[in-house]
Each structure stands twice: as structure tokens, then as C-alpha cells.
Amino acid sequence: MKPVVRGGWSVSKTDPRPLTTDHLPNEAQVIDPANVRALVLDMDGVLWRGSALLDGVRELFQVIERLKLASVVATNNATVDPASVMERLARAGVAFPAARVLTSADAAGGYLARNFPPPIRVHVIGEEPLRRSLTASGCQVVDGDGEPQAVVVGMDRRLDWAKLIDATLAIRAGAVFIGTNPDRTFPSERGIGPGNGAVLAALEAATGVAPIVVGKPEPHLFLEAARRVQVDPDQALVVGDRLETDILGGQRAGMPTALILTGVTSKDQLSASTIHPDVVLDDLLSLAAWLEATP
């Protein structure tokens, strides 16, 4: 369904409300698709849900190629490695370069490299892509008995009590507490489950220490995405399904934003939120149609 953009707020052509702006967010900005030179795309809830590709992936990238737009996928999911992203997109007939894949694991490694002399000893809750990224950034990954200087916590689908105990003790002993991302929930084929933010909250409750979050909604991933494709931030459209991470992070980076309603945010949650995207779209097919629309 092709959206109608009113002051930056997209609704269906069959929307029964009158053509007034009384119901629109005050902060929304009118954005012209012709001014978009790049897309910064979230993954989970936008391109796929769990292991299933969402409708419209192939069509969106066909439009991106036809309009000669740049694209980056940037995710708060620290379990992602570029090869897996390339493989998933290849199933939709999309050839995507590894250099255009950015994750919160990259953000964590970059933060530690900038702020600590190498090699910093790091205790990790997370999966292999996070460990590889930290090692590539000059960190030494150690267990709980290795006197870690930092604890980095990312999504870990094999999380257990022992890992939580080791992390808690290290943080209480003075290790810097870093979270890759604050996402409280995570979409799966079975429904919405706990995300990394839920684990960060548990460790904060156990230690009294708030984490330093390096992924979305901080602007680092978005600004790095713009640098990689050599566009100004205001020319890069952030596309995501989460108001509190994708949309807020894009706004902090000075980028226009589009919310896709195929992930965790419902229309009711959007209406109640103080975070207002520039464009709201049902799905990727609607995004593709909006990008090709003429004023």
C-alpha cells in the first residue's frame, strides 16, 4: 500500500480521518525522497524476523539500485557477522558487500580502542562475532578470573547463571561496564522475547552500576554508516522498527528517519510516544514505493 506523507507522517490512502494536521506529531519534518542519497537499514524487524526474510527485501534493493542510492545495514545485534548478512541477502538475490555491515560489536571494539591502551582485558557476555570484533580491536578476551578491566555485554542466546555471576563480580571489582545495545526485547519467529537491554538491567540491579551503551540510540553507528558511503548525515535515511533505538539514534545523528511497522513498534505505541519519525510505513514495499514517488 502506497503511503501518503503528511508533514512527515505516513498513513494509508484509505485512512478515514480528514485531511487535517491536528493528529500529526509536531516534530515531524517534511522530507523529499529526492534528497535521500543513502539508506541506513536496521536488520531485525526490518529486513527479516528471526530467520525469515520479510516481504519486499528484493524489491527494495532493486529500487536502491535503480535510483543509484547507497545502502548500509546497521544493527544493534552484536551476534551478527557480515558473512551471515551477505548470505541472507543473497537468498533474496541481493549481492551486498561486507564493508557495508555495521554492528554494535564494531561500536564496542571501537569505543575500547579509543579509550584504553591495548591490550585491555575484557570479559564478554556475548557470542562469537562480538568476541572476534573485540579481538580485532586489540582487546584480550579473558574469563572471570582474568582480572578484566572491562565487561562487555551483548546478546547471548546461551546466557546462563555462571556468566551473570562472573560479570557481576567483575563489575563490582571495578571493571568498566559496557553494553553493546539497550534493546529490551528481541523479535523471533515465536514472538517478542527478551533482548540485551533486559540483561543489562539485571546486571545493573545486581551491581548498582549503569552500563555505558555504545550502540543505538547513540549516534556512533549512524555517523560511521554515513562516512562509509560518503554522504552527509542529512542525506542518509535511517530505516528501523524501534522508536527508542533506531529512530532516536538517527535523530541524534542528524538524519531523517523512517519507521517500518513490521517489527516491535505498534501503531498504538507510536501514537503514545514522544519520539516522532519523519515517515511511517507499513513495510518494505511501502518504503520502495515512497522512494520512487515524485513530488
- Which residues belong to the active site? 42, 44
The three cell numbers locating residue 78: 552484536
The three cell numbers locating residue 282: 507499513
> Given the DSSP bridges, would you call strands 140-141 and 212-213 parallel, antiparallel or unpaired?
unpaired
Q: Dihedral sign, CA of 118, 119, 122, 127?
A: positive
DSSP readout, 59-109? HHHHHHHHTT-EEEEEES-TT--HHHHHHHHHHTT----GGGEEEHHHHHH
Task: Tell me phi and psi for residue 239, to 5 degrees.
Answer: -120, 120
Residue among 255, 292, 283, 290 at smallest CA distance from 48: 283
Residue pair 269/243 in contact (Cβ under 8 Å)? The answer is: yes
Cis peptide bond upstream of 119, omega within 30: yes
Residue pair 92/61 in contact (Cβ under 8 Å)? The answer is: yes
CA atoms within 13 A on the CB side of 16: 0
b/e per residue 102-129 (b: at least 16 CB within 10 A): bbbbbbbbbbbbeebeeebbbbbbbbeb
Task: Tell me phi and psi for residue 249, to 5 degrees.
Answer: -65, -40
